[in-house]
Amino acid sequence: AQKITQTQPGMFVQEKEAVTLDCTYDTSDQSYGLFWYKQPSSGEMIFLIYQGSYDEQNATEGRYSLNFQKARKSANLVISASQLGDSAMYFCAMREGIEDSNYQLIWGAGTKLIIKP
Amino acid sequence: EPEVTQTPSHQVTQMGQEVILRCVPISNHLYFYWYRQILGQKVEFLVSFYNNEISEKSEIFDDQFSVERPDGSNFTLKIRSTKLEDSAMYFCASSYYVGTGPTDTQYFGPGTRLTVL
What does chain A look like in DSSP terms, one character per residue?
Answer: --SEE---SEEEEETTS-EEE--EE----SSEEEEEEEE-TT---EEEEEEETT--S--EETTEEEEEETTTTEEEEEESS--GGG-EEEEEEEEE-GGGT----EE---EEEEEE-
CB contact under 8 A, A37 and B110: no
CB contact under 8 A, B100 and A33: yes
The pLDDT assigned to A100 comes to 62
Query: B40's torsion region: left (phi>0), alpha (psi -120 to 50) or beta?
Result: left
What value does the mean pLDDT take over residues A84-110? 88
How high does pLDDT run on average in chain B?
A: 92
More confident residue, A77 or A101: A77
**Distance in angstroms (rounded) separating the CA atoms of residues B51 and A109:** 31
pLDDT in tens, A100-112: 666 789 999 999 9
Interface of A with B (CB under 8 A): 31, 33, 35, 37, 42-47, 50, 52-54, 91, 93, 95, 98, 101-110
Which of A43, A44, A50 is opposite residue B105, by nearest beta carbon?
Answer: A50
| Residue B51 pLDDT grade (very low, low, confident, very high; cuts 50, 70, 90) | confident
pLDDT surpassing 80 at residue B94? yes
**Distance in angstroms (rounded) separating the CA atoms of residues A59 and A52:** 9
> How big is chain B, counted in residues?
117
- 8-state DSSP, B97: -
Partners of B65 in beta bridges = B79
The pLDDT assigned to A19 comes to 97
CB contact under 8 A, B58 and A104: yes
Is beta strand B112-116 parallel, antiparallel or unpaired with respect to B10-13?
A: parallel
CB contact under 8 A, B33 and A103: yes
pLDDT surpassing 90 at residue B20? yes
Minimum distance, in Å, between the CA of residue A40 and any CA atom of chain B: 11
Find out whether A93 and A105 touch, Cβ atoms under 8 Å.
Answer: yes
Minimum distance, in Å, between the CA of residue B27 and any CA atom of chain A: 18
What value does the mean pLDDT take over residues B93-100? 80
pLDDT in tens, A56-75: 899 999 999 999 999 999 99
> How big is chain A, counted in residues?
117
Minimum distance, in Å, between the CA of residue B8 and any CA atom of chain A: 14
Which of B56, B100, B111 is opposite residue A43, by nearest beta carbon?
Answer: B111
Cα A60–Cα A62–Cα A67 angle in degrees, nearest 5: 30
Q: What percentage of chain B has pLDDT greater than the value 90?
A: 74
pLDDT in tens, A9-52: 999 999 999 999 999 999 998 888 999 999 999 989 999 999 99
- 8-state DSSP, B66: E
